Structure 1
Amino acid sequence: MATTSLPRTSNRSAVIAALLSGADMDRQRLIAETGLSRATVFRIVDDLMAESLALEGVRVLREGPGRQSTSVSFNHRSALVCGVDLGGTNCRIVVADALGRALIRSRDTTPRDATADELAAWVAGRITDLATRHGDGVPLHTVTIGLPGVVTGDGRSVVASHNLGQIKGTGFIEKVSALLDVETAVGNDSNLALVGELQYGALPDRETAVLLAMGTGLGSAVSIDGQVLLGRTGLLGEFGRLPLPGREERLRDLLSGADLVAYARGRGVHVPTARALFADPETYAPLLAEVHGALAHLVTVVALAYEPGTVVLTGGFSESFDTARLTAISDQVAGTVGVRSVVRRSDLGDSAGLLGSMASSLGRLYDSLGVSADDAASVAVDRDLVIRRLADCPTAPTTTPTAPTADPTPRTRHDEQMAEG
């Protein structure tokens, strides 16, 4: 039985990776960049064009003897990928080409009262509609969904979700995967936000980094040597569950938008959103001092756990902390435990999770094409172009979810407080 040899597979991987920068290059440049022989590069390029993965471009003029050649580029229309950032308040979706260049994006209110099956049907329907309407007939290959909950390391089950309780278990994941009928993966939204920061943000590639996702809820993720750590049970980095020193309240009660509003009301402070507290620091100084203390405690915990070079904050709640405050917390932690970590807000803002989901989908697409992990990591990604295309691409009109067909799970007062936050 004939088999594909390892060197042959490795050679194909190197050529595809060279083309994934998105630049047009002729075969001579591919030979120089990959170190492969002329015959090998020409054969692989011919194979890729036969598979519609590479396209012939313009003729390249060369001085001196030798055959003139045409440029070659990766066929960005060979497949579509999709990234989803499903939150307790909003659901963001992006559909992009095979080079990660956004074609269409959307932002809709998450139907919180839907059952697991109804929510899965809504998410799958929205993805399918966007890809069909704006993909110009290119097939959807891979979908990645970031979820606001504790996801097991194998991505098959949600252990818990503070903001969308109905996705707990395996039902939601199985239903949305079946409805999409393409390769679908799910992951914790904080982990995927860190993937986005590593791929498209300003984090050093090999520096240990911690991401704190501070929005409706509180999540965290850590990367070491460029790899995001995944725990078997999904509980790795769930620092929001930790109680504050000597108190019953947990870290998330003071460091997430919805829970802070609920905590403030319990203290007799009635505000519509967490942002309103920070907008009037003199009036709410005692409460904000507790918030700042909680953040300093959390940074101290992650500093001792991982010794990160950077702690990056993302999510709407993180925007409430100015640079001076974050620098002061960094200095305080360094003085307390001797670990110097730069604490700063994300450059990608609330797009980090969406970009991370898209990057995950691209990674699995490239893996299916035979690109090795090492070659994929060497791809010269045009980060500015990817971010610009996401910002500039059309935004689909918002949709109004249909009324649930079954009685939704009764909402508690805590749920109502979270929705208001």
Structure 2
Amino acid sequence: MAQDIRELNRNAVLTELLNQRPATRKQIAEATGISAATVTRAVDQLILDGVVCEVSEVVVENRGRRAILLDLVADASLVLGIDLGASNTRMIVTDLLANPMTAIEIPTPTELGPTELALWVADTAKLAVGDHWDTVAAISLGLPGAVSQVDRTVSNAPNLRQVEDPTFLTVCELAIGLPLHVDNDANLALLGELRFGAARHTPYAAMLSLGAGLGVGIAIDGVVLRGRHGLVGEFGQIPIGPHGERLESFTTGPGLLRHAAAAGMELASPAELFADGGGGSDSAPDQVRAKLRAEFDQALVAVLTAIAVSSEPETIVLGGGIAKSLTENLGSYQRLLEQNIRIAPTLTRVELGDFSGAAGAVVAALHAVYLDLGVQPSSLSALPKSNTLSPESIHDIRRVNV
């Protein structure tokens, strides 16, 4: 029993330190209600374990009395966040306080089979970390599909079918040599924006990723909802077309290109559909363009409405290649939402750009490390307390050649 109490006190002290960091022993004692002597014993043990360190002295009273600030030992271990996309793969390496060390972006070799792709992910991860591989404590992997929390099977990944094969995760984990924390890429992108980006000021938010696929992440009170089989937010599977076509067919890059080709229009990229020019003409190409755009708008408003009425987020963050073309139109979509449901969430673009998913994977990996260290699970949604992982910091450490 005494051991259990000591461990509970230790964990409470560590949790409060991460919530306040850096903090003094007195501040931790006042915040937790634990006696100063008990806090000191817990801190001494955390220092002995190499988890916490003393970082500086501060004046705490008018008479000049000083106290020692404590903080987590940031460089004790590293974490790696991986966002495996159908077009590109992005990775971020940070220390335990989310201070970024390396960020890479590289085309995904989609021509590889499940085993070969898994080996490529492992090799690329080791190249990203470099000589510090032995210090990696946790790795989180985002995939473009629904990830079951029951058995880690992956479904609904039409743009990267290899990840649905059980061989992929098995080989990837064996080749990496560490347990993988696996989640849907939209969930992780939302987690990244919640901690470091456009949703950091609200715990009630959603992420809508529009690119090669359609992904939605939903957070309530700062916690990302997942469901047993990872199907929460899979609104792209909803049939809305006359022949049962799904929402994602009208809103994703591959779907837009297929619809354009079926209508006799060639688009070099989906972005052409949203480009200015020719919109007011009665020519056949412009009529086709207007029809495709109207179908897109209707489908997008349907997705946004589904997100709004299912979880009442204060903010919906839009990311992905298609979303980049919609920046100037977010106000129009928000007004349409308000007409539908009267009270609509604010629509905004991602702040972390293409690295939202990798940043969220870093957060998930950090949470795994924090749990192992003894941090209380109920506090994880507010951690890490850091603003170091920003678009500017990612740009500064980004490696182009791997």
TM exceeding 0.5 = yes
State the secondary structure of the residue aligned to 1:20. helix
Aligned counterpart in structure 2 of residue 158 of structure 1, from 143, 154, 171: 154
| Distance (whole Å) between structure 2 residues aligned to residue 204 and residue 77 of structure 1 | 25
- TM-score, normalised with respect to structure 1: 0.85
| Distance (whole Å) between structure 2 residues aligned to residue 192 and residue 70 of structure 1 | 36
Q: 1:293 to 1:169 in 2, by over 3 A?
A: same
Mapping for residues 113-132 of structure 1, pairs under 5 Å: 113-132=111-130
| Distance (whole Å) between structure 1 residues aligned to residue 31 and residue 56 of structure 2 | 20
Write out per-residue CA displacement over residues 318-370 of structure 1, whole angstroms, 9 at most, x where no aligned residue. Answer: 111134x3222222233234452323322333222111111000001000000
Asked if 1:345 corresponds to 2:345, the answer is no
| Distance (whole Å) between structure 2 residues aligned to residue 341 and residue 67 of structure 1 | 49
State the secondary structure of the residue aligned to 1:19. helix
State the secondary structure of the residue aligned to 1:129. helix
Aligned counterpart in structure 1 of residue 296 of structure 2, from 291, 314, 332: 291
Kindly indicate whether the alpha-carbon contact (under 8 Å) linking 1:311 and 1:343 is maintained by their aligned counterparts in 2. Answer: yes
Q: What is residue 327 of structure 2 aligned with on the other side?
A: 322
What amino acid is the match of 1:216?
A
| Distance (whole Å) between structure 1 residues aligned to residue 323 and residue 42 of structure 2 | 48
Asked if 1:303 corresponds to 2:308, the answer is yes
Asked if 1:215 corresponds to 2:214, the answer is no
- TM-score, normalised with respect to structure 2: 0.88
Which runs of 5 or more residues in structure 1 are unaligned?
A: 400-421
Write out per-residue CA displacement over residues 164-202 of structure 1, whole angstroms, 9 at most, x where no aligned residue. Answer: 111113211111111212231111111111222222234
Q: What is residue 401 of structure 2 aligned with on the other side?
A: 398
Write out per-residue CA displacement over residues 92-150 of structure 1, whole angstroms, 9 at most, x where no aligned residue. Answer: 001110111110011011010111111111111111222233x3x76101000000112
| Distance (whole Å) between structure 2 residues aligned to residue 45 and residue 173 of structure 1 | 39
Which runs of 5 or more residues in structure 2 are unaligned?
A: 280-285
**Which deviates more, 178-187 or 273-282?**
273-282
Kindly indicate whether the alpha-carbon contact (under 8 Å) linking 1:197 and 1:203 is maintained by their aligned counterparts in 2. Answer: yes
Kindly indicate whether the alpha-carbon contact (under 8 Å) linking 2:202 and 2:314 is maintained by their aligned counterparts in 1. Answer: no
State the secondary structure of the residue aligned to 1:91. strand
| Distance (whole Å) between structure 1 residues aligned to residue 222 and residue 236 of structure 2 | 24
Q: CA deviation at 1:218?
A: 0.9
Aligned counterpart in structure 1 of residue 233 of structure 2, from 218, 234, 237: 237
| Distance (whole Å) between structure 2 residues aligned to residue 364 and residue 227 of structure 1 | 15
| Distance (whole Å) between structure 1 residues aligned to residue 239 and residue 122 of structure 2 | 37
Q: What is residue 53 of structure 2 aligned with on the other side?
A: 55
Kindly indicate whether the alpha-carbon contact (under 8 Å) linking 2:57 and 2:68 is maintained by their aligned counterparts in 1. Answer: yes
Q: 1:280 to 1:42 in 2, by over 3 A?
A: same
Q: 1:138 to 1:36 in 2, by over 3 A?
A: farther
Q: 1:64 to 1:356 in 2, by over 3 A?
A: closer
| Distance (whole Å) between structure 1 residues aligned to residue 318 and residue 392 of structure 2 | 23
Q: 1:97 to 1:293 in 2, by over 3 A?
A: same
Kindly indicate whether the alpha-carbon contact (under 8 Å) linking 2:103 and 2:394 is maintained by their aligned counterparts in 1. Answer: no
Asked if 1:279 corresponds to 2:275, the answer is yes
Kindly indicate whether the alpha-carbon contact (under 8 Å) linking 2:259 and 2:292 is maintained by their aligned counterparts in 1. Answer: no
Q: What is residue 92 of structure 2 aligned with on the other side?
A: 94
Q: 1:216 to 1:125 in 2, by over 3 A?
A: same
Q: 1:92 to 1:33 in 2, by over 3 A?
A: same
Q: 1:320 to 1:35 in 2, by over 3 A?
A: same
Q: 1:64 to 1:288 in 2, by over 3 A?
A: closer
Aligned counterpart in structure 2 of residue 375 of structure 1, from 375, 379, 387: 379
Q: What is residue 332 of structure 1 aligned with on the other side?
A: 336
Q: 1:178 to 1:130 in 2, by over 3 A?
A: same
Asked if 1:366 corresponds to 2:365, the answer is no
State the secondary structure of the residue aligned to 2:91. strand
Q: CA deviation at 1:71?
A: 3.2
Q: 1:237 to 1:379 in 2, by over 3 A?
A: closer
Kindly indicate whether the alpha-carbon contact (under 8 Å) linking 2:330 and 2:348 is maintained by their aligned counterparts in 1. Answer: yes
Q: 1:52 to 1:285 in 2, by over 3 A?
A: same
| Distance (whole Å) between structure 2 residues aligned to residue 317 and residue 130 of structure 1 | 28
Kindly indicate whether the alpha-carbon contact (under 8 Å) linking 2:81 and 2:362 is maintained by their aligned counterparts in 1. Answer: yes
**Count of residues paired in the alignment:** 393
